[in-house]
């Protein structure tokens, strides 16, 4: 295996997001943290618990449809062992979201009890969505909003122009999501964010990125490469694999050379769209 490539990337806006979330905290009862099932470590902000000040949270392992099912199960067990309820979901089709409101009511039952004791009957539970760019925050909000439809207008006590969607009996979702950037010092984290497209391709050299991804798939899911591209797998470098794919797909430039840029973009696009197969790039930490 080669060394991870260096993703030059500046997380900007972190302070702004933190402020936005902190300001919204008094308005919310819980947080929906959306992670990418293919990279649950890289897509998680390790400071989230600190930022949300231990508000209850639920994890949605999104894009579960294009992640390795076996690994989804391991990740769910892992988060459960940390005491965090986690649901595998596909916010593109809505699969897995049926149980969401029931889970929330369950998890925040104590809070409802407190409201009742204070005589605040009818007080709804309010949730905020957070996650890194491209993880599926808008897809989730749009899906859930469809059910409840009614957009609740601003009202006393709910300031700053936040709009809320009723998404289930007594549950509302803030219509804007907190865009969180994970902090990373670890080059593997940067690379995984680039593979999935969370870090824009303009800041990465895709002709380095695609061969690295191919090396990893060749190591962990070789049969998928064989099946998708009809190439030999085994003891090859990432560049050799990319070259074989370019050749098979007839991606050539004048003089019969492989068009590496096109082949690299094809591999990345097909990985991101789940076309190579259901692939997870990160395993839960060992106990
Ligand atoms: P964001 O608000 O967090 O930035 O993410 P957004 O919902 O815009 O989703 C980013 C991309 O991920 C979209 O694809 C969306 O369709 C896709 N996506 C979201 N959730 C899922 C999921 O559970 N499974 C799969 N397979 N894809 C998901 P896009 O290419 O930008 O648009 P399009 O393909 O919908 O046209």
The most confident of 104-108, 146-150, 181-185, 282-286, by mean pLDDT: 282-286
For 177-227, write each residue's pLDDT tens digit. 788 777 677 889 989 999 999 887 777 899 999 999 999 999 999 999 999
Is 124 strand, coil or helix? coil
Q: What own/partner pairs with CB < 8 Å and gap ≥ 24 does 231-237 have?
A: 237/2, 237/211
d(CA 201, CA 180): 19
d(CA 125, CA 30): 8
Query: What CATH class is the domain 205-272?
Result: mainly alpha
Position 159 scores a pLDDT of 46
252: its two tokens: 């050539």
Q: Is the dihedral of CA 75, 79, 81, 85 positive or negative?
A: negative
Q: What φ, ψ does residue 42 adopt, rounded to 5°?
A: -65, -25
Query: What CATH class is the domain 12-175?
Result: alpha beta
The structure's pTM equals 0.91
Is 174 strand, coil or helix? strand
Position 74 scores a pLDDT of 98
d(CA 4, CA 7): 9
For 101-137, write each residue's pLDDT tens digit. 888 988 888 877 877 788 877 778 899 999 988 999 9
- Among 43, 59, 92, which residue has the most ligand 1 atoms within 8 Å of its CB, making it the best to mutate? 92
Where exactly does CATH 3.40.50.300 map onto the chain?
12-175
Closest alpha carbon to 52 in 29, 78, 72: 29
**Ligand 1 centroid vs 41 CA: distance in angstroms?**
19
- Report whether 137 contacts 21 (CB < 8 A): no
Nearest CA to ligand 1 atom 19: 136
């Amino acid at each position: 295996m080669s060394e991870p490539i260096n993703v030059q990337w500046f997380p900007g806006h972190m302070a702004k997001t933190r402020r936005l979330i902190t300001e919204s905290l008094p308005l919310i009862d819980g947080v929906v943290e959306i992670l990418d099932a293919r990279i649950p470590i890289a897509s998680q902000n390790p400071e989230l618990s600190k930022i949300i000040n231990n508000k209850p949270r639920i994890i949605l392992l999104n894009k579960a449809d294009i992640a390795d099912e076996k690994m989804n199960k391991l990740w769910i067990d892992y988060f459960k062992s940390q005491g965090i309820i986690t649901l595998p979901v596909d916010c593109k089709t809505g699969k897995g979201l049926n149980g969401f409101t029931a889970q929330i009511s369950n998890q925040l039952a104590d809070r409802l009890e407190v409201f009742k004791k204070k005589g605040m009957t009818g007080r709804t539970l309010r949730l905020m969505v957070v996650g890194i760019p491209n993880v599926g925050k808008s897809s989730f909000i749009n899906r859930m909003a469809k059910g409840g439809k009614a957009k609740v207008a601003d009202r006393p006590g709910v300031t700053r122009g936040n709009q809320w969607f009723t998404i289930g009996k007594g549950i509302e979702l803030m219509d804007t999501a907190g865009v969180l950037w994970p902090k990373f010092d670890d080059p593997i984290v940067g690379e995984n964010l680039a593979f999935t497209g969370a870090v824009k391709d303009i800041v990465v050299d895709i002709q380095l990125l695609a061969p690295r991804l191919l090396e990893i798939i060749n190591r962990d899911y070789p049969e998928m490469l064989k099946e998708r591209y009809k190439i030999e797998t085994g003891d090859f470098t990432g560049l050799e694999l990319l070259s074989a794919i370019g050749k098979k797909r007839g991606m050539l430039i004048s003089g019969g050379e492989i068009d590496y840029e096109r082949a690299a973009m094809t591999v990345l696009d097909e990985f991101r769209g789940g076309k190579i197969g259901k692939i997870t790039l990160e395993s839960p930490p060992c106990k």
